[in-house]
Structure formats: C-alpha cells, structure tokens
Structure 1
Amino acid sequence: MELLVAIAIGTLTSSGVYLMLRQRSFPVILGLSLLSYAVNLFIFAAGRLAPDLPPIISKTALGYTDPLPQALVLTAIVISFGMTAVLVIMAIGAYLTSGADDVALTQAPTDEGKA
C-alpha cells in the first residue's frame, strides 16, 4: 500500500511540475492544482493513520488516531480551492486584457522611443 501511495504522490508531483512549466495559463493552473493534491496526499499519508481507532482519547479505546493530519488536509483543500478560483479569475482577466493566453507574454523594450 505504501508503494501505491508513493507512486501516486510522485506521479501527481511530476505531472504538476510539468504542467507548471507550460506557456499557457490553463495548464499552469491545472499543474498547481495537481501539486496541491500531491501535498495533501503526502500530509495525509505522513499522519500514520490507524484504522478503527477513534480520533478522541477515551478510556475504552486501545489507542487513538491523530486528528491533526486530517485537519491540515481539510484546511489545505479549502485554501487550494480558493486559490484556484483566484488564479482562474486572474487568468481570465489577463486573457481579456492582452487577448492572449500566454503566461510569459512580455514585450521587449524598444529603442525607437529614445532619440
């Protein structure tokens, strides 16, 4: 099971980095989303989840599950959803302003205005 989770984290990370290096805005946003999913899965797997144990300490249970990884992942999901929405709105605004979907759309300074 650990190998499957490690392969999933590695695949999501490599796909996210590859998409973030693209020149278009939609693949960059998709790459950031995949990278955030990889980090969420990594945090969740690093929490050493114990099946069939309560997240609250009780006298009848043999142990408990640490609730901190679940709380961190839930918070990260909400933050990544909000940041994805902000990035989509910024990408739409940049497309409507410049008329292109290129991330690195810059103009080199010209010497025509200097005389």
Structure 2
Amino acid sequence: MEIIMSILAGTLFGTGIYNLLQKQLLRIIIGTVLISNGAHLFILTMGELKRGQPPILREGVTDYVDPLPQALILTSIVISFGVTSLLLVLAYRASKENQTDNMDKMRGNEYE
C-alpha cells in the first residue's frame, strides 16, 4: 500500500510542478493545491499505513496507531486551505486590475 501511495504522491507532485510552470494564474493556483495534496499523502505514507487501536490507554490493547501524522495532516489541510483562499483572492484582484490572467502580459512581455 505504501508503494501505491508513494506513486500517487509523486504523480501529484509532478502534475503540480507542471501546472506551476504554466502562464495562467488559475493553473498556478491549481499547481500549488496539487503539491499540497501530494505533501499530505507523503506525510501519511511516512507515518506508516498500519491498522490498530486509537491511542487511548485501555486494558488488553497492545497495538496503537501513531496519532502524529494525522495531527500534522489536519494542520496542513487547514493551512493549505487558507493559502489557497488567499491565492484565489489575489489572482482575482490581479486579473481585474490587469484585464488578463496571463503572467507574461502582467510582466509587460507582449509576445506569446
């Protein structure tokens, strides 16, 4: 299962980097979202995908699941949601001010 999750995280990283290198603002934002989702899967995979009981001390339970990766992912999801919201607002404002979402035209390079 770790191999499949690693391949999926790598695919998300690859497509995210491809989208970051595009000229349109919306594709750049989609690239950052894909990279953050790939990081979530990577953190989950590094925490070992094993089954066990919740980390609550009880009689007779010896196999517990590590809660740290889940806490890190939950924090990362909240942070990436805030960053995505900020990027969407900034892209909307920049496209309204400049009448385009093309990064080359925003920089003043009119060739395509």
Q: TM-score, length-normalised on structure 2?
A: 0.89
Contact 1:12 1:35 in 2 (8 A): yes
Alignment check: 8 A CA contact 1:49 1:66 kept: no
What is the RMSD computed on CA atoms of the aligned residues? 1.4
* CA distance in 2: counterparts of 1:50 and 1:8, whole angstroms: 18
Question: Is 2:99 the partner of 1:107?
Answer: no
Contact 1:50-1:64 at 8 Å conserved across structures: no
Aligned residues: 108
- TM-superposed deviation, 1:102: 1.5
Going by fraction, where is helix more abundant, 1 or 2?
A: 2
Q: Does 1:82 align with 2:82?
A: yes
1:40 lines up with 2:40 in the alignment: yes
Indicate conservation of the 8 Å contact 1:57/1:63, yes or no: no
2:50 alignment counterpart: 50
Q: Percent identity?
A: 39
State the Cα distance separating 1:107 from its structure 2 match.
Answer: 2.7
Q: Secondary structure at the match of 1:63?
A: coil
Tell me the distance in 2 between the aligned counterparts of 1:102 and 1:57.
56
Q: Which has the higher contact order (CA 8 A, sep 6+)?
A: 2
Contact conserved, 1:56 with 1:65, CA < 8 A, in 2? Answer: no
Residue 53 of structure 1 contacts residue 61 of structure 1 at CA under 8 Å; is this kept in 2?
A: yes
Q: 1:64 offset after TM fit, Å?
A: 1.4
Aligned to 2:95: 95
